[in-house]
Structure 1
């Protein structure tokens, strides 16, 4: 069975974007780029992969799932297929089904769709965001990988857009980069 990994960047106080969905508060250092290119190369959009000369297949994922607002970052830049090296799914009840030939729109029941994807053959599934979608999919998330940037946002879009719902995590790896970014990896505890 395939696994669903929520791989996300966050401020120290748990926000994945500013109130308008922008990511400008997160400084991207050479150390972080090297880490991502080495450990999670498939999580880089196609344009970034091209700029870095990355042509190898992914190490962990062959599929990406993201919410409407995360996908909007690419659309606003005129890119309909931001991850051409992955099978792309966008959860949205407002996007047309034919938004891009390389993107499959999931218009309803994201939990059911993820359960079906997890039953298919393939590598892992990368959940790119956003927080509301991650909150809906929390029961299906197998692993959480957080790039914790050394910044306090004070507000914005939370990592999980759910109400109070404590969920146990089991730490499986941690790493501190020279720029102060912490990489924290957890497995979600069943139950």
Structure 2
């Protein structure tokens, strides 16, 4: 059965981007042993992607002319007007995530839906009871401020730790299931 997964990197102090959406703190760890293998393993189980408009805009600005997910349907939750890159399977939507959840799962087929982010979009899925797993790679950096990992209004019930692994002696990947 397909599930909704939040696969993300976070600083030690719980931020997924700097206040101005800079990811330099994260990109310096691209070549840490195990990082690429972890991403490839995760992506093999992804059948559909959901992301917010800010994440989509960042991709378009930082990967011009190159859509990173050419073989995977992607749904962008946004209030802005964007166009899809050539050769991509991108659908732009507005509204409550519950309204589109069945379509996302259908697009995922027998694989999972990756909630790329940002944190505000994933918080909407969590508040709707649609976030099933979080796979968070903790990067050994402190930003002090930025875009929060999961900006919920209150605490979650305890999460179940499914697995953990160290990546290259630098980062820790923590896989949690929401109960």
Bigger CA drift: 30-39 or 122-131? 30-39
TM-score by length of 1: 0.81
Give the Cα–Cα distance (whole angstroms) in 2 for the partners of residues 4 and 86 of structure 1: 15
**Given that residues 133 and 161 in structure 1 are in contact (C-alpha distance below 8 angstroms), is that contact kept between their aligned partners in structure 2?**
no
> What is the correspondence of 1:128-143 to structure 2 with a 5 Å cutoff?
128-138=116-126, 139-143=129-133
Q: Deviations over 1:38-60 (max 9, x none)?
A: 422x3xxxxxxxxxxxxxxx2x1
Superposition CA RMSD, Å: 1.9
The equivalent of 1:18 in structure 2 is 18
The alpha-carbon distance between structure 1 residues 107 and 35, as it changes in their structure 2 partners (threshold 3 A), is same
Give, in whole Å, the separation in 2 of the partners of 1:167 and 1:134: 16
Alpha carbons 1:67, 1:90 under 8 Å: kept: yes
Aligned length: 171
Map of 1:57-136 to 2, 5 A cutoff? Answer: 58=44, 60-77=45-62, 78-79=64-65, 81-96=67-82, 98-100=83-85, 102-118=89-105, 121-136=109-124
Does the C-alpha gap of structure 1 residues 63 and 180 become closer, same or farther in structure 2, counting only changes over 3 Å?
A: same
The TM-score with structure 2 as length reference comes to 0.86
Residue in 2 aligned with 1:186? 176
What CA distance in whole angstroms lies between the structure 2 residues aligned with 1:37 and 1:149? 15
* 1:9 CA drift (Å): 0.4
Gaps of 5+ in 2: none
